Structure 1
Amino acid sequence: MGVRKRETAEARKEANKSIAFAKLNNCPTSPRKMRIVADLVRGKKVELALNILKFNAKDASGKIEKLLLSAINNWQQKNADANLEEAGLFVKEITVDGGAMLKRLRPAPQGRAHRIRKRSNHVTIVLGATNNNTQSN
């Protein structure tokens, strides 16, 4: 590995240590349905985002709520001495990417077959803190 490549890899690892994130891979929901719920909480404070997800009727909101709680827990483990209320956590970034697709066949009229695509997705939540002195720990 070259020197420049190693230095950028080390810089990327250091940057990942300072942020708190959580990932959900291969969630059996279509990415379009998951993005509708993800757009509701993008950029919101953590307490408000949890309330939005708790009282939303969509099935995807329960999965994102659980993922958000996991990201909060990851932040608390990195910053053990910091207070959650004083930090001012917010959803800095939330991305929904397409995952693996299961392809199935469904019978159609006149002996034909239609392809059914059962989609899945990957969700990543990154938390940020408005109080920057807690990030330096």
Structure 2
Amino acid sequence: MEAVAKLNDCPTSPRKMRLVVDLIRGQKVEHALHILKYNTKEASVRVEKLLLSAVANWAAKNEGVRIEDAELYVKTVFVDGGRQLKRLRPAPQGRGYRIRKRSNHVTLVVDSKNSAN
């Protein structure tokens, strides 16, 4: 049985978040947590917290089953673009350059390899 966790309106650009998310796709949860813990990017802290939330959601769905016995893995994880905050920065000769502050939505699905649940 799978469990889902979502992170909406994370104030990081989707491109930067995808670099971190691509590292853990298809990995076992323990291995993915180690990858995220020792990664230097800021987005890895948010994805690590999201992964722990997905594991907690899975544990709430499957009461009585130990997490260690279930062999959890990251089934799917994807990043979608969120809203953009549009700002103006002063530019030469009275102009204004538009700044787009991007955000993203991350969806993470955790599943167990044991189908006997």
Q: TM-score, normalised by structure 1?
A: 0.84
Pairwise mapping of residues 83-102 of structure 1 onto structure 2 (< 5 A)? 83-102=66-85
Higher-Rg structure is 1
Aligned to 2:48: 65
Opposite residue 34 of structure 1, the aligned amino acid is M
Opposite residue 72 of structure 2, the aligned amino acid is L
Opposite residue 20 of structure 1, the aligned amino acid is A
User: Contact between 2:84 and 2:101, CA under 8 Å: does it hold in 1?
Assistant: yes
Which structure shows the higher strand fraction?
2
Is the counterpart of residue 28 in structure 1 residue 19 in structure 2? Answer: no
Following superposition, the deviation at residue 31 of structure 1 comes to 0.3
Following superposition, the deviation at residue 58 of structure 1 comes to 0.3
Following superposition, the deviation at residue 19 of structure 1 comes to 2.1
Aligned to 1:8: none
Aligned residues with identical type, % of pairs:
63
Opposite residue 81 of structure 1, the aligned amino acid is G
Q: TM-score, normalised by structure 2?
A: 0.98
Q: How far apart are the structure 1 equivalents of 2:67 and 2:2?
A: 14
Q: How far apart are the structure 2 equivalents of 1:50 and 1:115?
A: 38
Bigger Cα displacement from structure 2, 80-89 vs 34-43 = 80-89
Following superposition, the deviation at residue 110 of structure 1 comes to 1.4
Aligned to 2:107: 124
Aligned to 2:39: 56
Q: How far apart are the structure 2 equivalents of 1:113 and 1:75?
A: 49
Deviations 1:24-45 (Å, cap 9, x if unpaired)?
A: 0000000000000000000000
1:114 counterpart SS class: strand
Is the counterpart of residue 79 in structure 1 residue 62 in structure 2? Answer: yes
